[in-house]
Structure 1
Amino acid sequence: MIVPLTVSDFLARAESVYPDRIAVIDEPDQPAPSLGTLTYRDFANNARAQAAYLDRLGVPVGARVAVISQNSARLLTSFFGVAGWGRVLVPINFRLTAAEISYIVGHCGAEVVYADPALKDVLDSLDVEHKFVLGDDDNLYLHGVEPTPWDSPDENATATINYTSGTTARPKGVQMTHRNLWLNATVFGLHTAVTDRDVFLHTLPMFHCNGWGMPFIQTALGTKQIVLRQIDGAEILRRIDEHGVTMACAAPAVVNAALEAAESWDGPIPGRDRVRIVVAGAAPPTRTIERVLDVLGWEFIQIYGLTETAPLLTINRSRAEWDDLPAAERARKLVRAGAPALGVSLTTNVDGEILARANHIMDGYWEQPDESAKALEDNWFHTGDGGRIDDEGYLSILDRKKDVIITGGENVSSIEVEDVLMSHPAVREVAVIGIPDEKWGELVTALVVTDGSEVTVEALQTHCRQTLSGYKIPRRIEFRESLVRTATGKLQKFKLRTPYWEGRDRQVN
């Protein structure tokens, strides 16, 4: 017997097994009216009502529905209310500029766009038939009407399109199928031991790799999910304390925020010996991991993956053999990206690039067949990262082959930033690189050759701000007389990066 794997399976189980259990506690401090506390029966009813409303609008199976929102119960519902009935959810990074959002909405051909009230102005520039502000008269739900069933559920149908910055100036739309999402979520839940006793804090943006699959697995197992809209270290600790949180996922910058808040926290650190935090985006320094273990008293779990891999490729969780090791030694073992997750095969090619195979690797890039073929050449996904697999079977990330900087857990295309800087009349040459930074992991840094005019760092940053999202703007700009190039004129970025990374084993942070 073969039964199609679809994301609706996760919600169906939650409603059947845990109907009266608290499903979601929505962010109380947001511009839209908070949905407050929802049971899994409420949550499932809202998902059906969203699907019914899309039926009334005439939005067919396979149509794209975009949501631009910070973490909220409404966005969480959309993973099921949209994708669960055969439509395609496009969760968009709320940090992007209006021009960037407009490109994504146009590229995916969205028929419906929902925007957070704080972002409602962006709707004015979108040429879309149906546009709504989340929470305004709640034009999201049609209660009391059963949605039209998805007649022929297909696990290979696209469930979500997640846009990611890559090696080109334009983001690429990663097509995730229902099968991709289903298997990523279940494997992730297996390795991190999610149970119905967990309380999950959504510190990770839900738009980012679909919250790494946590909206699905946490729902299936009936956990209480706490929505956090704005990252703040003290608020993270407060909510862990208030709600009895046991699990969270985060980029290293969020871990640092929690550690900073712990320094001035009054009383015992919340979650000690209870919380496990799953970290990815870039490996934090060994010392940071050690402080998570010692200062916070939380279990540290590291994973590695990409938007294209849903994201789970490897997991590094402390093993029984490491239990008696000092924290510093355990941290040294945990700094590695990890061992392949169940169902994942990893290897490296002659150039040291990490290649992967798994059931939860993307179907391809939306309407970009050439880029898809390149990324999936020879039935291996080419990660663009350089790495080494040690004798224990653990992967360590050593370098980034693609022209991508990961800062605060967000991907930044250096080419995109270079294009914007080159549009300034005083800039003659530019190279954008990532350099190590304790807080952000990597700092977007621009090396600029000017025409000799007295342009300032502040002027260039202001110029970038007109086009780029805040996290893409170079935090550091250095002026140079020339940039290192090959005989054919190609920038030698590895040479430009070397001085900043001297003394480090890896060329990523």
Structure 2
Amino acid sequence: MTGTVTPPAPTDAWFGAHLVASADEVPSRLALVATDRSWTYAELDLAIRRTVARLDKFGVRRGDRVVMQGAARPEALVTLFAVTRMGAVLVPVHPQLTAGELAVVCAETAPRAVVADERFLSGRPADGSGRCFRLTWDDLHPGDEGSAPAAEGLDTEAPAGSDVAVIAFTSGTSGHPKGVALTHDNLRWSMVNGLDRLPVGPDDVALVATPLAHVAVLGGLPQYTWARRGTVVLAPRFDPDLFIDLVRDHRITCAFAVPAMAALLTRHPRFAGGDLDTLRWILSGGAPAQTATRDLLHERGIGVVDSYGLTESGAGVTYSALGTADGPAAVAGCPVPHVELLVVDEAGGPTPAGAPGEIWVRGPSVASSYWTADGPRPATDPAGWFHTGDRGRIDAQGRLEVVGRVKDTVITGGENVDPAEVENALISLPGVVEVAVAGAPDAVWGEVVTAFVVAEGDGPSLEDIRAHLDGRLARHKWPRRLSVVPALPRGATGKLQRQRLATLLDD
């Protein structure tokens, strides 16, 4: 892609206004590529307007909730923008959600419709009340675009900024998923923040290879790219070979990847070849990229932008500077301009410089409530602070260093151990692909530090791990137990689910 158009950060209050502006101003620029098909900005906008008309025909109205299978397919992206454009509320869910999990989402949101493929809908009966109906992708996108009506003449007044646009369910690391009510304003301010920190321009081609239920898609890199009139390439799934093929074929310049994806990419036999030469940087979300992965990417000439964000914040609230490879692996960068960030002690007071505590965030991108069947439940305290439950510290450069979860701290023999610190030290051990650390009950120590390792071949022994940590970490932080596992338990967005690690222990 070529061009010099770089518009200012979006000012319209409703989610999707940036696409309308692009369709008006640069209609022929390439907006979206998926599999063997592509859409200009004008074509993408027309597809959205036609889907608005179909949703209206099926009876979806302003304020209705629409549950959507968040599959990585263009129909889902078009549906996302159509639902929110007409003032309805999108409820994206992971494409492999079980019937029981879907029942929880529907019970909380009382949707007007569920949109998915036939396999997803099979065995999931329609709402007995008759209010909720099921739609397949073919119902909304039947392939007759040449004759399909657009939304002209319908009541499509733009939603207000305070209207809820998306209910994004968390991955349930606390045991029960929560529906985060993200307003149009929340998502707009998230975009403003991202555009301030990320080097996205009209010549960029961004690769997205995650499910569309991920907040990094709803409020992240693809939205920033479209706001700058760039091109988004949508992968149907993440696979290292496919990822590399797409970078080569579409001259990808930037991509979003959770740390596990980035780690698999660096270990692929084609990583050192020329097929990745156009890839300038990767945005790491879910957690900062671990040291070994980040170093390999930098050596390959691929920059890493680490970020810290949550579903409740609409996407990133900190971003590291592109091109920096120094500092601890857990450093996630400085706060964005429209977010306040505090690190507090157990009493809720600010911690001294460099001291760890719980991370609190506040700002217009942060959701103020959760959506429940009984009505909205506050997500923030009376002063507007969201208590993340994550532990971090602010370093001398003003950067946030994330050191774990408040409840994840391992207390062994009276000493506190941050799992993330041990994980970052172990990931560079030869043969280790992924690692997670947690506490296991022990009659003597209270808890013992336990390493769960995904390895190449037989993997390291406990003695190998201790030898590797000698000189790197204090002895009380060394694992006393080791479990080599085929995979780490992760939620729908790829986030590690530490509470499930105990189920992997051998008796």
TM-score grouping bracket, smaller chain normalisation: 0.7 to 0.9
Looking at structure 1, the residues matched to 434 and 373 of structure 2 have their Cα atoms a distance apart, in angstroms, of 31
**TM-score when normalising by structure 2:** 0.74
Looking at structure 1, the residues matched to 245 and 330 of structure 2 have their Cα atoms a distance apart, in angstroms, of 27
Deviations 1:266-314 (A, max 9, x none): 8424135x421000212232121111101x3211100001100012111
Q: How does 1:240-389 map to 2 (within 5 A)?
A: 240-261=247-268, 263-264=269-270, 267-271=273-277, 274-294=279-299, 296-318=300-322, 330-332=325-327, 335-351=330-346, 352-367=357-372, 372-373=377-378, 375-389=380-394
Whether the 8 Å contact between 2:368 and 2:378 is mirrored in structure 1 is no
Looking at structure 2, the residues matched to 379 and 144 of structure 1 have their Cα atoms a distance apart, in angstroms, of 44
Give the match for residue 461 of structure 2. none
Whether the 8 Å contact between 1:317 and 1:334 is mirrored in structure 2 is no
Indicate which of 132, 136, 145 corresponds to 1:133.
Answer: 136
> Cα distance, 1:440 vs. partner?
4.7
Output the aligned Cα RMSD: 3.5
- Runs of at least 5 residues in structure 2 that lack an aligned partner in the other structure: 1-9, 347-356, 410-418, 444-484
Whether the 8 Å contact between 2:126 and 2:132 is mirrored in structure 1 is no
Whether the 8 Å contact between 1:286 and 1:331 is mirrored in structure 2 is no
Looking at structure 1, the residues matched to 376 and 437 of structure 2 have their Cα atoms a distance apart, in angstroms, of 27
Indicate which of 227, 234, 247 corresponds to 2:241.
Answer: 234
Whether the 8 Å contact between 1:22 and 1:38 is mirrored in structure 2 is yes
> Cα distance, 1:240 vs. partner?
0.4
> Cα distance, 1:474 vs. partner?
5.2
Q: Could you tell which deviates more after superposition, 228-237 or 18-27?
A: 18-27
Deviations 1:446-492 (A, max 9, x none): 8799xxxxxxxxxxx9xxx9xx9998675962256xxxxxxxxxxxx
Pair 1:107-2:115 in alignment: no
AA aligned opposite 2:505: E
- Runs of at least 5 residues in structure 1 that lack an aligned partner in the other structure: 29-35, 323-329, 405-432, 450-460, 481-509
> Cα distance, 1:151 vs. partner?
3.2
Deviations 1:109-155 (A, max 9, x none): 11111113442325446656321222368359882242523336310
Deviations 1:418-460 (A, max 9, x none): xxxxxxxxxxxxxxx99947545637998799xxxxxxxxxxx
Indicate which of 165, 170, 180 corresponds to 2:176.
Answer: 170
Deviations 1:152-189 (A, max 9, x none): 63101000000003464321000001011011112212
Indicate which of 198, 201, 204 corresponds to 2:204.
Answer: 198
Looking at structure 1, the residues matched to 502 and 295 of structure 2 have their Cα atoms a distance apart, in angstroms, of 28
Looking at structure 2, the residues matched to 180 and 469 of structure 1 have their Cα atoms a distance apart, in angstroms, of 20
Whether the 8 Å contact between 1:446 and 1:474 is mirrored in structure 2 is no
Whether the 8 Å contact between 1:91 and 1:161 is mirrored in structure 2 is yes
Whether the 8 Å contact between 1:65 and 1:87 is mirrored in structure 2 is yes
Q: Could you tell which deviates more after superposition, 125-134 or 185-194?
A: 125-134
How has the CA–CA distance of structure 1 residues 154 and 137 changed in structure 2, closer, same or farther, with 3 Å as cutoff?
Answer: closer
Give the match for residue 478 of structure 1. 505
Indicate which of 216, 224, 233 corresponds to 1:217.
Answer: 224
Indicate which of 171, 188, 192 corresponds to 1:186.
Answer: 192
AA aligned opposite 2:295: E
AA aligned opposite 1:227: L
Looking at structure 1, the residues matched to 38 and 53 of structure 2 have their Cα atoms a distance apart, in angstroms, of 22
> Cα distance, 1:216 vs. partner?
2.6
How has the CA–CA distance of structure 1 residues 191 and 3 changed in structure 2, closer, same or farther, with 3 Å as cutoff?
Answer: closer
> Cα distance, 1:95 vs. partner?
3.0
SS at match of 1:62: coil
How has the CA–CA distance of structure 1 residues 117 and 250 changed in structure 2, closer, same or farther, with 3 Å as cutoff?
Answer: farther
Larger helix proportion of the pair: 1
AA aligned opposite 1:393: G
> Cα distance, 1:103 vs. partner?
1.2
Looking at structure 1, the residues matched to 158 and 223 of structure 2 have their Cα atoms a distance apart, in angstroms, of 21
